[in-house]
Amino acid sequence: MTKNWKSPKQFVCLFTQKAKILFNEEPAALTPKKVYLVLANLVKDLIYDDWLATEQRYDARQTKQVYYFSIEFLLGRLLDANLMNCGMENMAREGLKELGFDLDAIMPLEADPGLGNGGLGRLAACFIDSLAALQLPGHGCSIRYQYGLFEQHIVDGQQVELPDTWLQDGFPWETKRSDKAVHVRYGGSAYMRPDGKGGLECVHEGYSSVLAIPYDVPVPGYRNHTVNTLRLWQAEYTPDGLFGQGQGGDFRKVLQYRDTTQQISRFLYPDDSTEEGRKLRLMQEYFFVSAGLQSIVRHYRGQHRDLREFDRYVALHINDTHPALLIPELMRILMDEEGMGWEEAWRITVASTSYTNHTIMPEALERWSIPLFQSLLPRVYLIVEELNRRWLAAYRRKFPGREDKAEQVAILWGGQVRMANLAVVGSHSVNGVAELHTKILEESTLHPFYEVYPERFNNKTNGVTHRRWLLESNPPLAALISDTIGTDWIRHPKKLKELLPYRDDPSFQEKLAQVKQDRKDALVRWIQETRGVAVDPHSLFDIQIKRFHMYKRQLLNILHVYSLYLRLLDDPDAVPLPQTFLFGGKAAASYGEAKVVIKLIHTVARLIDQEPRVREKLKVLFLENYNVSLGQRLFPAADVSEQISTASKEASGTGNMKFMMNGAITLGTLDGANVEIHRLVGDENCVIFGLRAEEVQKYYREGGYSSWDLYRQDEEIRRVLDVFQKNPLFSQLYEDLLRRNDEYFVLKDFAAYREAHQEILRRYQDRPGWLRASAVNIAQSGHFSSDRTVSQYARDIWKVKPIRV
């Protein structure tokens, strides 16, 4: 094995060997996909020595390690990132060239790993990248889904979901570790009985057990020899897993057990509209939490003697509530398997665990039906019940007679297990993901907990890895930055601020304009080649890419575009310059209204394309199957970043940060991290509009506003809503906006949004002014590197320090 490729010639030699081992073929005979696989395997070989060395170093130093539990890790392609982190990209490029291959043509052949779907999953991926870059001992823990969310196709303007078969050609970055498998138990019954020593012990019997097999993915730091681990668990059937019944001869039970087992790690987000789907999701949550914890405790046992010191060496982080079963599961392991008493186990559990909340939307706070929970996880349920009993007793002592408050903080209530309450009670730290979001958690969503445990609450504003989202996605911009201020910003993204003095420098501005045009041209070529659609590369690129959700208000965006269309019908000069509106994102398969918005976008796009008076000025394009690799093409090409959620609803947003890093101007509401972007760049360098969070919350308290009144008063709104006559499907949106009183304030914010767009056009026509704003955004984006975020978690929450390897 080699530490590094010393020359393109050596690369060619290693490549030839590897092609023989993997495929028994000469390089020249390989299909491009096989070239990718050979190359990926070579890169993994490069990483292996450092991977082992990192693990040995952590053990030798007895260092505290973090385990970041997340139901999603939206990794994106790994070849480019790993080559970059090893510093071997040029060597690979040269070597492949000698073999007659083009690295840039090979990289897109890698399937995007389907291990996540949106902001929360991508945040987790950014965090493990930053942990390794900062040489912090921290690992990811999740599920090896065989199928991702879904592959989005558009048929007749509507979303169609196809299976995402990302694993079909194999995943060369993983290593199966069968020797580290553990068992996870489901079902059966649990009860307490005297342990013969004057106490009680738990008996759990009649359960079925599932084999959990870890697949490890290396997570290399940026040219620093640190390689951490992302451990993905896969569920497998074991012939003796079905307690008692296998031998009894009821083969149908055995087959059913085998099927259920194999379902556990089959899909990301199984359909939760059926009882079966919900049960599977709960099985998944327990599955990776239990497997992960068992392996952590086992490793701890090999390193340390005293389990009472667990929290000195282990930090467990739960990314949203999906992994919150970690709390009762750690209690179970400490008590049932290690013989600890409740008090001691509880102290250790709380001291080890920390929790991040990612939403205030009440429908997104997880709740499980008690009968389902109890039948699936009887032992864990007993622990949750006891925890709830103790917690409520203590709470009632503090607030006697306040049953209204007790109801809010209960873990078990109304026949349900409330996961957010479990997570807060069982963690020493609870954080929100942007200043505004944390404030709303403290003042309303989690206020009763804040009253009891104010010291647990803290903010950690999200960040994104500038290595992937700038260095890797936008090489010409990265090169311009390095030519201007040197390369220190790569390791210290705050240093991007050194660009500030160049914001008015005409020669810098000229180069910045060229880079943006170059990225727009590249996107236009790609759209032409892959979608067969022509886009004007000199139009203003206005982009909204994110999951479809009513609170994110893609509807506001498309209604505004339709209003431009109407105005252009009347007056061909109504719009001063050509604009392209790009959309991308998936709607949940069962989210009817969001899917109708996708249809509406396509309808407006067609109206415009068919109208000669308008199509020179406007273009609407929906790019199907938005994912990480498409994002990497879009962020660098954007002029305007649409961040228009109803204020208070978007916990943070992270796309906003990726656009900013690539020099786009934010057009947004004061929501989530937009508030902090706005504070850093100022009014001159972003365009803010619409209701503020406090106004929105006031309306909610007072029963909303009357969208009918607005409809009657504003002629343009009336005209715009005609678009709903185009298809009976859209009557649902009409209902939302008028009859159901516009829950997300689309009409209420419409006039302000129209103004904001006019402001954008005015500013865009002042070239030097626009380029200055673009430069300021890039310069201030260092604050939104996940390196900053992760350092804050490490210092304030996890208490871990960098370890040189």
- By CB under 6 A, name the binding residues for ligand Z15: 118-120, 123, 320, 358-359, 364, 433, 462, 650-654, 672
Query: What is the Cα gyration radius of the chain?
Result: 27
Contacts of 505 (CB under 8 A, 6+ apart): none
Are the C-beta atoms of residues 673 and 665 closer than 8 Å to each other?
Answer: no
**CA 670 from centre of chain:** 21
Cα–Cα distance between 340 and 199 in angstroms, integer? 11
Among 372, 205, 166, 412, smallest CA distance to 285 is for: 372
The smaller minimum CB distance to ligand Z15, of residues 557 and 654, is found at 654
Question: How many alpha carbons lie under 13 Å from residue 47 in its C-beta half-sphere?
Answer: 32
The smaller minimum CB distance to ligand Z15, of residues 107 and 361, is found at 361
DSSP string, 487-542: SHHHH-GGGGGGGGGGTT-HHHHHHHHHHHHHHHHHHHHHHHHHH-----TTSEEE
- To the query of whether residue 358 is one of the catalytic residues in this protein, the response is yes
Contacts of 11 (CB under 8 A, 6+ apart): 5, 42, 91, 92, 94, 95
The smaller minimum CB distance to ligand Z15, of residues 604 and 790, is found at 790
List 438, 580, 603, 654, catalytic entry:
654
The smaller minimum CB distance to ligand Z15, of residues 119 and 631, is found at 119
Give me the amino acid identity at 672: G
The smaller minimum CB distance to ligand Z15, of residues 650 and 749, is found at 650
The smaller minimum CB distance to ligand Z15, of residues 320 and 749, is found at 320
> Smallest gap, in angstroms, from Cβ of residue 487 to ligand Z15?
29
List 552, 553, 619, 754, catalytic entry:
552
Task: Give the CB-nearest residue to ligand Z15.
Answer: 119
Number of H helices, E strands in the chain: 35, 23
> Smallest gap, in angstroms, from Cβ of residue 643 to ligand Z15?
10
Judged on CB neighbours under 10 Å (0-12, 13-18, 19+), 423 is buried
Run of H or E including 162: strand 158-162
DSSP tag of 363: G
Determine the angle formed by the axes of helices 767-780 and 674-681, rounding to 10 degrees: 120
List 139, 332, 511, 547, catalytic entry:
547
- To the query of whether residue 139 is one of the catalytic residues in this protein, the response is no
The smaller minimum CB distance to ligand Z15, of residues 72 and 80, is found at 72
> Smallest gap, in angstroms, from Cβ of residue 389 to ligand Z15?
29
Contacts of 681 (CB under 8 A, 6+ apart): 660, 666, 773, 776, 777, 780
The smaller minimum CB distance to ligand Z15, of residues 379 and 546, is found at 546
> Smallest gap, in angstroms, from Cβ of residue 658 to ligand Z15?
11
Judged on CB neighbours under 10 Å (0-12, 13-18, 19+), 268 is buried
* Strands ordered across the beta sheet of 367-369: 367-369, 416-418, 412-413
The smaller minimum CB distance to ligand Z15, of residues 204 and 468, is found at 468
> Smallest gap, in angstroms, from Cβ of residue 770 to ligand Z15?
27
Tokens of 578: 């050509």
- To the query of whether residue 552 is one of the catalytic residues in this protein, the response is yes
> Smallest gap, in angstroms, from Cβ of residue 110 to ligand Z15?
23
> Smallest gap, in angstroms, from Cβ of residue 704 to ligand Z15?
23
Among 523, 541, 532, 746, smallest CA distance to 632 is for: 523
The smaller minimum CB distance to ligand Z15, of residues 112 and 320, is found at 320
Distance between first and last Cα of the chain: 19
* Strands ordered across the beta sheet of 687-688: 618-622, 579-584, 540-545, 640-643, 665-668, 687-688
> Smallest gap, in angstroms, from Cβ of residue 571 to ligand Z15?
39
Q: Is 208 left (phi over 0), alpha (psi -120 to 50) or beta?
A: beta
What is the pairing mode between strands 208-220 and 175-176? antiparallel
The smaller minimum CB distance to ligand Z15, of residues 587 and 771, is found at 587
- To the query of whether residue 64 is one of the catalytic residues in this protein, the response is no
Give me the amino acid identity at 680: L
- To the query of whether residue 3 is one of the catalytic residues in this protein, the response is no
The smaller minimum CB distance to ligand Z15, of residues 47 and 434, is found at 434
> Smallest gap, in angstroms, from Cβ of residue 551 to ligand Z15?
9
Cα–Cα distance between 307 and 304 in angstroms, integer? 7
Among 389, 204, 388, 419, smallest CA distance to 325 is for: 419
Determine the angle formed by the axes of helices 32-60 and 79-86, rounding to 10 degrees: 50
List 332, 658, 754, 757, catalytic entry:
658
Cα–Cα distance between 428 and 766 in angstroms, integer? 51
The smaller minimum CB distance to ligand Z15, of residues 307 and 588, is found at 588
List 358, 466, 520, 649, catalytic entry:
358
176 SS3 class: strand
> Smallest gap, in angstroms, from Cβ of residue 294 to ligand Z15?
25
Helices within 304-377 (DSSP H only): 310-313, 326-332, 342-352, 370-376
List the beta strands (DSSP E) in 629-676.
Answer: 640-643, 665-668
Cα–Cα distance between 429 and 454 in angstroms, integer? 10
- To the query of whether residue 546 is one of the catalytic residues in this protein, the response is yes
Are the C-beta atoms of residues 470 and 477 closer than 8 Å to each other?
Answer: yes
Are the C-beta atoms of residues 260 and 276 closer than 8 Å to each other?
Answer: no
Among 127, 132, 129, smallest CA distance to 51 is for: 132
Catalytic residues: 358, 546-547, 552, 654, 658
